[in-house]
Amino acid sequence: MVEEQSGSKSERASGQASEPIRSPVGTRDVLWPESERWETLVATFARRARLAGYGLLLTPVLEDVRLFRRGIGDESEVVGKEMYELTDRSGRALALRPEGTAPVVRAFVQHHPPVPWKVWYVTPAFRYERPQAGRYRQHHQVGVEALGTEDPGLDVEVISLAAGFYDELGLTRVDLSVNSMGCAEDRPKYVVALREYLNEHRDMLCDEHRESFGRNPLRVLDCKRPQCIAVTEKAPKMVDFLDEPCAAHLAQVREGLDALGIGHRLEPRLVRGLDYYTRTTFEFAALALESAQNAIGGGGRYDGLSEAIGGPPTPGIGFGIGIERLLLACDAEGCFAPEPSAPDVFVIDVTGGGVARDLCAQLRDAGLSAQRAYDNRSLNAQMKVADRTRARFAAIVGARELDEGTVTLRALHEGTETSVRREELIDRLRKEVGP
Ligand code: HAM
**For residue 323, how far is its CA from the centre of ligand 1 (angstroms)?**
10
Q: What is d(CA 335, CA 207) in angstroms, rounded to the nearest whole number?
A: 41
23-186+242-333 and 345-433 have identical folds: no
CA of 29 from ligand 1 middle (Å) equals 20
Residue nearest atom 15 of ligand 1, based on CA coordinates: 322
Centre of ligand 1 to C-alpha 397, Å, is: 52
One-letter amino acid of 7: G
CA of 388 to the centre of ligand 1 (A): 38
Q: Residue 7: pLDDT band by 50, 70, 90 thresholds?
A: very low
Q: Which atom of ligand 1 is nearest to the CA of 102?
A: 27
* 274, 296, 302, best to mutate for ligand 1 pocket (most atoms within 8 Å of CB): 274
Backbone angles phi, psi at 51, to 5 degrees: -60, -30
0.85 exceeded by pTM: yes
Q: 99 CA distance to ligand 1 centroid (A)?
A: 7
DSSP character for 242?
-
Element (H, E) at 231: helix 226-232
pLDDT of residue 280: 98
Mean pLDDT of 4-17: 52
- Nearest to residue 276, comparing CAs of 342, 350, 184, 199? 184
CATH assignment, 23-186+242-333: 3.30.930.10
67, 102 contact by CB (below 8 A): yes
Atom nearest to 137 CA in ligand 1: 19
How far is Cα 84 from Cα 416, in angstroms, rounded to an integer? 58
Alpha helices in 52-170 (DSSP H): 65-72, 77-80, 101-111, 152-169
CA-nearest residue for atom 21, ligand 1, is 135
Nearest CA to ligand 1 atom 23: 322
Number of H helices, E strands in the chain: 16, 18
What is the CA(319)–ligand 1 centre distance, in A? 8
Q: Is 383 left (phi over 0), alpha (psi -120 to 50) or beta?
A: alpha
Contact status, residue 95 vs residue 85, Cβ threshold 8 Å: yes
Q: Which pLDDT does position 16 carry in this prediction?
A: 62
Which pLDDT belongs to residue 222? 87
* Ligand 1, atom 31: closest residue by C-alpha: 299
Q: How confident is the model at residue 18 (pLDDT cuts 50, 70, 90)?
A: confident
* Of 62, 103, 91, 96, residue with least CA distance to 79: 96
Q: Residue 145: which of 49, 238, 228 has the closest Cα?
A: 49
Pick the residue whose CA is nearest to atom 30 on ligand 1: 319
| Whole-angstrom distance, CA of residue 53 vs CA of residue 228 | 41
Q: Compute the Cα dihedral for 238, 240, 243, 247 and give only its sign.
A: positive
**At residue 305, does pLDDT exceed 80?**
yes
Q: From CA 180, how far away is CA 299, in angstroms rounded?
A: 11
When pLDDT is cut at 50, 70 and 90, the band that residue 157 belongs to is very high
Task: Report the DSSP pairing between strands 393-397 and 345-349.
Answer: parallel
Of 3, 41, 139, 290, which is best to mutate to test ligand 1, by the most ligand atoms within 8 angstroms of its C-beta?
139
- Report how far residue 304's alpha carbon sits from residue 262's, in angstroms, rounded to the nearest whole number: 27
How many angstroms does the Cα of residue 341 sit away from the middle of ligand 1? Answer: 30
Return d(Cα 75, Cα 82) in angstroms, integer: 11
Q: Is the pLDDT of residue 215 over 90?
A: no
Calculate how far, in angstroms, residue 142's C-alpha sits from the geometric centre of ligand 1. 9
Please compute the mean of the pLDDT values over residues 134-151 and round it to a whole number: 98
- pLDDT tens track for 34-85: 999 999 999 999 999 999 999 999 999 999 999 999 999 998 899 999 999 9
In this structure, the number of other CB atoms found within 10 A of the CB of residue 282 comes to 26
The arithmetic mean of pLDDT across residues 418-430, rounded, is 97
Torsion of CA 27, 33, 35, 37, to 10 degrees: -120
In angstroms, the CA 365 to CA 208 distance is 62
Residue with the larger pLDDT of the pair 133 and 321: 321
Mean pLDDT, the chain, as a whole number?
Answer: 95
Which of 63, 141, 181 has most ligand 1 atoms within 8 Å of CB, for mutation? 141
- Break the chain into its structural domains and give their ranges: 23-186+242-333, 345-433
Q: Does domain 345-433 have CATH number 3.40.1010.10?
A: no
Mean pLDDT of 377-390: 97
| Mutational test site, ligand 1, from 99, 106, 138, max ligand atoms within 8 Å of CB | 99
Whether residue 346 is predicted with pLDDT greater than 60 in this model: the reply is yes
Instruction: State the pLDDT at residue 8.
Output: 46
- The set of protein residues with a Cβ atom below 6 angstroms from ligand 1 is 99-101, 127, 129, 134-136, 139, 141, 143, 145, 273-274, 295-300, 318-320, 322, 324-325
Q: Is the pLDDT of residue 11 over 60?
A: no
CB 314 within 8 A of CB 147: yes
Name which residue sits closest to atom 18 of ligand 1, judged by CA: 135
Q: Ligand 1 atom closest to Cα of 145?
A: 33
